[in-house]
Amino acid sequence: MDFFSDIAKQAITVALMVSAPMLLGSLIMGIMVSIFQAVTQINEQTLSFIPKILVIVGALVLAAPWMSDQLTTFTRELIISIPDLITR
> Model confidence over 22-41: pLDDT tens digits?
999 999 999 999 999 889 88
C-alpha distances out from residue 29 to 9, 17, 41, Å: 30, 19, 17
Q: What Rg value do the Cα atoms of the chain yield, rounded?
A: 19
Instruction: Please report, for the chain, the start and end positions of each structural domain, with discontinuous segments joined by +.
Output: 2-87
The answer to whether the CB of 47 falls within 8 A of the CB of 37 is yes
pLDDT tens, 56-71? 999 999 999 999 999 9
Longest dimension (CA), the chain: 65
Q: Which of 26, 80, 16 is nearest to 58 (CA)?
A: 26
pTM greater than 0.75: yes
